[in-house]
């Protein structure tokens, strides 16, 4: 293959990465934005989503589409429930103290990871794609499912955006994010908003994971990479800014896809991580965010 098609392939792969990353990072960004809490266990909610997707898809026999749809509905619900329990049992008792919640979510990370290893095992297991369609491009055939992932992700992000900007629930969330105490004075049940946002953030990660398992197999250690990449995206995009998060996800996903096709993936990760750390040092509000109030 010559350079042009190669670049096209890299771009497509990058877009798939970006689509999944945007959803995952959106969850992290939402939790940080509204609750001012860094959820280190976010990657494990992603992993849990993938592992549960495998579990649910094995429950039904017959068409892979049925199993996949079942996973797409049930897996995020279960992950949301787990997150809700974590929030009520631990984070709320810590009063959302930033450093204590970091330590506690590290604890959750280990617990979820170990439980996945114990009950799911160390193997990587695939989930069948709901449909098998190859789209023939002039230079190579490309998986139709991957394109569907991109479309689905765009749809979900738009839905999240609509909920946040056009509905009462979204208004309540934004009010809590803007000023917790004033929101409380206006009768907003901040406590319940926190619980809902934490669960929603985990569910977004779980949906992203269900979308990716037909491409990348479910494995109990798969949570670390999305966690670090989501951190990177959320930082570059400006903590708590939805638009910035999506732009940054596309940027990071594309460059990750393109750099790893042409250079060593380890080197790509090294450079990206270093650059992001420097962004955080010299421009803490992110490339697209506004300075903190």
Partner 1 sequence: MAGRATTRALLLHLAVLAALVLLYWILPDYHRGVLARVLVLAVFAAGYNIVFGYAGQLSLGHAMFFAAGIYGAGLPVYHLDWGVGAAFATGVGAGALLALVVGMLALRTTGVAFMIVTMMFSQVFYLTTLYFTQWTRGEEGLVLPQAARRLALPGLEIDLSDPASRYFVAVALFSVVLMASFAIVRAPFGRVLVAIRENEERVRMLGYDVFSNKLAAMVISGAFCAAAGAAYAVLFGYIGSTFAAIQYSILPLLWVLLGGAGTVLGPLLGTVFMFYVVDITSGYTSAYLLIVGVALIVLVLFFPKGVLGTIRERWLKWLP
Chain residues in the site for partner 1 (CB under 8 A): 38, 90, 93-94, 98-100, 102-104, 106-115, 117-118, 224, 228, 231-232, 235, 264, 266-267, 269-270, 273-274, 276-278, 280-282, 284
Rounded Cα distance between 60 and 67, Å, is 6
CB of 289 to partner 1, least distance (A): 12
Rounded Cα distance between 46 and 210, Å, is 9
Q: Which is nearer to partner 1, 186 or 263 (CB)?
A: 263
CB of 43 to partner 1, least distance (A): 11
How many CA atoms does the CB half-sphere of 184 hold within 13 Å? 7
Please report how the helices 42-59 and 224-237 are oriented relative to each other, as an axis angle in degrees rounded to 10.
Answer: 130
Tokens linked to 87: 């929030």
Q: Which is nearer to partner 1, 67 or 226 (CB)?
A: 226
Q: Which is nearer to partner 1, 63 or 290 (CB)?
A: 290
CB of 130 to partner 1, least distance (A): 34
CB of 100 to partner 1, least distance (A): 5
Residue positions counted in the chain: 293
Q: Which is nearer to partner 1, 155 or 265 (CB)?
A: 265
CB of 204 to partner 1, least distance (A): 20
Q: Which is nearer to partner 1, 68 or 120 (CB)?
A: 120
CB of 284 to partner 1, least distance (A): 6
Rounded Cα distance between 272 and 242, Å, is 21
Q: In this structure, what are the phi and psi dihedrals at residue 100, rounded to the nearest 5 degrees?
A: -65, -40
Q: Which is nearer to partner 1, 8 or 115 (CB)?
A: 115
Residue 136, judged by CB atoms within 10 A of its CB (0-12, 13-18, 19+), counts as: exposed
Q: Which is nearer to partner 1, 103 or 158 (CB)?
A: 103
CB of 219 to partner 1, least distance (A): 15
Residue 122, judged by CB atoms within 10 A of its CB (0-12, 13-18, 19+), counts as: exposed
Q: Which is nearer to partner 1, 56 or 231 (CB)?
A: 231
Strand partners, 134: 143
CB of 38 to partner 1, least distance (A): 5
Rounded Cα distance between 87 and 96, Å, is 10
User: Which residues lie closer than 8 Å to 180 by C-beta, 6 or more apart?
Assistant: 190
The CA-based angle 150-152-153, given to 5 degrees, is 65
Sign of CA dihedral 101, 103, 105, 107: negative
């Amino acid at each position: 293959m010559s350079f042009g098609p190669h670049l096209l392939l890299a771009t497509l792969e990058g877009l798939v990465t970006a689509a999944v990353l945007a959803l995952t990072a959106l969850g992290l960004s939402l939790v940080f934005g509204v609750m001012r809490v860094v959820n280190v266990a976010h990657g494990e909610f992603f992993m849990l989503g993938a592992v549960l997707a495998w579990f649910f898809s094995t429950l039904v026999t017959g068409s892979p589409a049925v199993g996949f749809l079942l996973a797409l509905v049930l897996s995020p619900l279960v992950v949301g429930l787990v997150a809700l329990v974590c929030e009520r049992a631990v984070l709320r008792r810590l009063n959302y103290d930033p450093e204590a919640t970091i330590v506690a979510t590290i604890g959750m990370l280990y617990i979820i990871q170990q439980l996945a290893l114990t009950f799911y095992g160390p193997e990587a297991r695939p989930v069948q794609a709901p449909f098998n369609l190859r789209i023939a491009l002039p230079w190579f055939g490309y998986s139709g499912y991957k394109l569907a992932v991109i479309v689905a992700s765009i749809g979900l992000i738009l839905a999240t955006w609509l909920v946040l900007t056009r509905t009462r629930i979204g208004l309540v969330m934004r009010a809590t994010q803007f000023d917790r105490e004033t929101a409380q004075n206006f009768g907003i049940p901040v406590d319940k908003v926190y619980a809902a946002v934490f669960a929603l953030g985990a569910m977004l990660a779980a949906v992203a994971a269900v979308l990716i398992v037909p491409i990348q197999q479910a494995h109990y250690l798969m949570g670390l990479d999305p966690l670090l990449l989501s951190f990177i995206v959320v930082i570059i995009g400006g903590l708590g800014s939805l638009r910035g998060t999506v732009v940054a996800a596309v940027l990071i996903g594309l460059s990750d896809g393109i750099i790893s096709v042409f250079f060593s993936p380890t080197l790509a990760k090294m450079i990206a991580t270093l650059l992001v750390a420097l962004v955080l040092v010299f421009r803490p509000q992110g490339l697209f965010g506004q300075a903190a109030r």
